[in-house]
Structure 1
C-alpha cells in the first residue's frame, strides 16, 4: 500500500471513531452509523468536509441535520444532506 492510501485510511478510521465518541449520545447515534456505512467510500474532498463537520459543536450539527436550525453555507453540502436524509430514514 502507498503512504497516501495509508494516510487516507487512517483519516477514515479516525473519523469513524470520532463519529461514535461525540459529546452527546444523540450525535453519536446520527454520525456513528453514517460513518460506519459511508466512511470507506468518502472521497478526499468529502472526508475533508466530514472532518470539518466533526469539529463543530454537537448542538449545531444536530440542528443542521434535523432541520431545527439553518445550515451555514460552508456546511450546506451534498454530504450534510446525505447525513440528514439517513437520520430521517431516507438513505439513498
Structure 2
C-alpha cells in the first residue's frame, strides 16, 4: 500500500490539495490548457455499435453475391439426434441476441416440426448470425432462397412477440 502525504490522518486533504496545485500549474503554465481524458477532442467511431443502428446494419451486411453456405453432410442422422443438435446450435450461436431468439424458438417449435421443417431450419442456422437476426426482426429482407420459407415466417412471428412474453434463455 502506498501512503500519500502525511500520516496524521490528513491524507485525503493532502492528496486533494496536491491535485489542486497540479491542476492549477497545468493551466497557468500553458497558453493552451492541457487536456484530460474526459476533455479529448478526438472522437473515435464506436467499435461496437448497437444493433438496429445504421452503423451496425451497414457493418453486418452480407454481400449479395456471396453463395449460400454448404451444410456439412450428416449421413444417417436420426430425427432425435437432429433435434438435439438443432437445440444446441440454436442456443450456442455467438451473439446473445441470436441465442435468445433462436433458443426460445427452438424450445417452442422444434418438438412439433416435421423432418422437412427440421432440415429447413438446419439450413437457416448455417447462415450468419446477424443475417438471421435481422431477417427475423424484419429489418432486412431475406435473399430469394429464404423469401418463401415457412420456418423463417414462423421465426418472424416468434420475434414479434405479440403476446409480450418475457423471454429468458431456456434451461440446459
The TM tier, using the shorter chain, reads 0.7 to 0.9
Q: Does 1:50 align with 2:121?
A: yes
Residue-by-residue CA offset, 1:17-68 (whole Å, 9 max, x unaligned): 1101001000011100110111111111111110011111001101111111
Unaligned runs of 5+ residues in structure 1 are none
Query: How many angstroms apart in 2 are the aligned matches of 1:13 and 1:80?
Result: 20
Counterpart pick for 1:84 among 156, 159, 168 = 156
Secondary structure of 1:11 counterpart: helix
C-alpha deviation, 1:73, in angstroms: 2.0
Displacement, 1:87? Answer: 1.1
- Say what the alpha-carbon RMSD is for the aligned residues: 1.6
Moved over 4 A (4+): none
TM value normalised by structure 1: 0.86
Residue 99 of structure 2 corresponds to residue 10 of structure 1: no
> What SS is found at the alignment partner of 2:78?
helix
Number of residue pairs the alignment of both structures matches: 87
Task: Report the 3-state secondary structure (helix = DSSP H, G, I; strand = E; otherwise coil) of the residue aligned with 1:74.
Answer: helix
The one of the two structures with greater contact order (alpha-carbon pairs below 8 A, sep at least 6) is 1
1:69 match: secondary structure: coil
Higher helix content, 1 or 2? 1
TM-score by length of 2: 0.48
Gaps of 5+ in 2: 1-75, 164-172
